Structure 1
Amino acid sequence: MIEAVVFDAGETLTSDDRYWAAWADWLDVPRHTLSALVGAVVAQGRDNADAVRLLKPGIDLAAEYAAREEAGRGETLDESDLYPDVRPALASLRAAGFRVLVAGNQTVRAGELLRGLNLPVDALATSGDWGVAKPTPEFFERVVRLAATAPDRIVYVGDHPANDIAPAAAAGLRTAHLRRGPWGHLWADSPETAAADWHIDGLDDLLPLVSGDRTLMHHAARRPTNHR
């Protein structure tokens, strides 16, 4: 029976458009060029930061990140970065009695910005906060501790098969693949995605599915046993 629903952040709750546009503007390269390179390197199974390295070989990303922050051009998130279904879907899940959490691969600063949006969640953490990142088992161990229940009573919702669906399932969590953003569409038919417990096109699809699972398990627990 599902008790907790944990959401990835980037391209699940928030659009990455502003993030990559800001990097392109800082590097003084066309936004479309960087966006296309991000798609290309990720399709090759590489880290999306390699797109920046292709444009600026030898770049020190940590130093550039710090320089952006110092110049007042660092990470920014506001209400306009949220997908429209986020607030109503999260609020509906909480109202239905589920513990609602966010845990994704973001910086400490991104975590601060997300908390500033006052989303209807019980807790929010990032890989920067924890010092471990997806798809490592340690990240999902932290997810289980944050959810404070058994792994098979948690559903992890994300768009990325290799970072979200496969490692969450390996950790014993239930999974919901979200067909959203470039990665959610690019790998919608991958074997890792096919193995998800549920497939959704929007966060509004989630409540009926997890509520149905709860009802099914409740009835199964009450079903009388036949003794022969």
Structure 2
Amino acid sequence: MIETIVFDIGETITRDDRYWASWADWIGVPRHTLSALVGAVVARGLDNAEALRLIRPGVDVAAEYRAREAAGRGEHLDESDLYDDVRPTLSALRQAGMRVIIAGNQTTRVGELLRSLALPADLVVTSGEWGVAKPEPEFFARVLDVARAPADRTLYVGDHPANDIIPAKQAGLKAAHLRRGPWGYLWATDPEVAAAADWRIDSLTELIDITGR
């Protein structure tokens, strides 16, 4: 029986549209250009920041991030960035007695922005705040620390096989692969993902039936 559900952030809880559009505007290329390059590096199994380096070879992404923040063009999230199934699903799971956690690879600033949205979750935390990121085993050790449930009763939900599904399973957690966003769609039928995931879903609402609460 699942007692705690932990959600990835990008393309699980939030859409990445605004994130990449703002980067395209900042570095001065059409939004479609950067979007296509992100897709290309994703398909090659590379870090998505490589898309920025294809446009500006040698760019210091962290420095550019700080410059954007200083210029008032940094990260922003509001209700429109949430997928439609997020609030109803999280609310239903909590009402059923589940512990709900949001924990993914994001900056400290994103953690602050998500908490300002007052999502129906017991904890919202990011890799930037923890100082360790997926797929490192230490990240999932931290997940289990806050889950307050045994690993086999904790479910991690995400779209990225290498960052979410496989390391979660290696840590002993249950895993649900979400067919959403470029990573979710690209690897939806991959045999390794199919073998690793306990469940493969198209919407977060499916978790309500899966947990049987």
Q: For residue 201 of structure 2, what is the amino acid of its counterpart?
A: I
The one-letter code sitting in structure 2 at the alignment partner of 1:199 is R
Give the match for residue 37 of structure 2. Answer: 37
> What 5-or-longer segments of structure 2 have no aligned partner?
none
1:18 equivalent to 2:23? Answer no
Shift of 1:148: 1.5
Instruction: Note if 1:201 corresponds to 2:202.
Output: yes
SS at match of 2:132: coil
How far apart are the structure 1 equivalents of 2:50 and 2:210?
37
Rounded Cα–Cα distance in structure 1 between residues aligned with 2:190 and 2:132: 26
CA contact 2:42–2:182 (8 Å) conserved in 1 = no
Q: Which residue of 2 aligns with 1:225?
A: none
Tell me if the contact between 1:176 and 1:196 (Cα under 8 Å) persists in the aligned partners: yes
Q: Is the 8 A contact 1:6 1:102 kept in 2?
A: yes
Kindly state the Cα deviation for residue 58 of structure 1 after the two structures are TM-superposed: 1.3
Identity %: 69
Query: 1:143 aligned to 2:143?
Result: yes
Amino acid at match of 2:84: P
Instruction: Output aligned runs, 1:43-58, within 5 Å.
Output: 43-58=43-58
Aligned to 2:187: 187
1:67 Cα offset (Å): 0.6
**Distance across 1 between alignment mates of 2:98 and 2:72:** 38
Cα deviation, residue 130, structure 1: 0.5
Q: Does structure 2 retain, via aligned residues, the 8 Å contact 1:141–1:171?
A: yes
2:154 alignment partner in structure 1: 154
Secondary structure of the equivalent of 1:76? coil
Amino acid at match of 1:18: R
Equivalent-residue separation in structure 1 for 2:117 and 2:80 (angstroms): 11
* Contact 2:103/2:143, CA 8 A, preserved across alignment: yes
Q: Is the 8 A contact 1:101 1:122 kept in 2?
A: yes
CA shift for structure 1 position 36: 0.6
- Residue 211 in 1 paired to residue 209 in 2? no
CA RMSD of aligned residues (A): 0.8
Map 1:72-221; keep pairs closer than 5 Å.
72-194=72-194, 195-211=196-212
Distance 2:133 2:174 in 1: 19
Q: What SS class does the counterpart of residue 209 from structure 2 fall into?
A: helix
Total equivalences in the alignment = 212
What TM-score, normalized to structure 1? 0.91
Structure 1 stretches of at least 4 aligned residues deviating more than 4 Å after TM superposition: none
Task: Return the offset for 1:191.
Answer: 2.8
Output the CA distance in 2 between the equivalents of 1:19 and 1:152.
34
SS at match of 1:169: helix
Alignment-derived partner of residue 28 in structure 2: 28
- Shift in Å at residue 60 of structure 1? 1.0
